[in-house]
Amino acid sequence: MQRTRFGEMACSIARTLDVIGEPWSPLILRDVWAGVSRFDHIQADLGISRKVLTERLNHLVEQGVLQRLPYDARPRYEYHLTAKGADLVEMLMVMARWGDRWLAGEAGPPVLYRHHTCGQIGHVDPRCSHCGEPMHADDVDLLPGPGSA
């Protein structure tokens, strides 16, 4: 499609932004996750221009985050998350959690998350994969890894 903007950096954040960092992309993924999966529905829900929505959907499909599936036996399509895309939902939940905490104001969170495993309303909580304790900004040191160009 076009040259990536951040991709030359040996940084997984930059690489991730090359896939989902363009304007609207996270909201498109949110819509698809929430079941708004058809072109016109996403377009109406977000108020995005059709041209940009076309570009974003194509890019997300190329990157393997969404798949375009026919429905109704005509040239009509729905977009669905792939495994790679579903794995991005935790990022969306973390973003939503931050917005709930810092931007929601008096009214409280606009969306609640019910966890299947326990059946309760909860939110996502980042923990260390090794010890299970909380993992926040001050809890980590950054070290060069094997792929640090």
Contact residues toward DNA (CB under 7 A) are: 2, 5, 22-24, 38-41, 47-52, 54-55, 57, 68, 71, 73-78
CA–CA gap between residue 133 and residue 9 (Å, rounded): 30
CB 82 within 8 A of CB 88: no
From the list DNA, a copy of itself, none, pick the one residue 124 interacts with, judged by a Cβ distance below 5 to 8 Å according to partner type.
a copy of itself
From the list a copy of itself, DNA, none, pick the one residue 130 interacts with, judged by a Cβ distance below 5 to 8 Å according to partner type.
a copy of itself
Shortest reach from residue 68's CB to DNA, in Å:
7
Pairing state between β 77-81 and 121-122:
unpaired
From the list DNA, a copy of itself, none, pick the one residue 38 interacts with, judged by a Cβ distance below 5 to 8 Å according to partner type.
DNA
Shortest reach from residue 123's CB to a copy of itself, in Å:
5
CA–CA gap between residue 75 and residue 86 (Å, rounded): 25
- Whose Cβ is closer to a copy of itself: residue 69's or residue 128's? 128
CA–CA gap between residue 140 and residue 148 (Å, rounded): 18
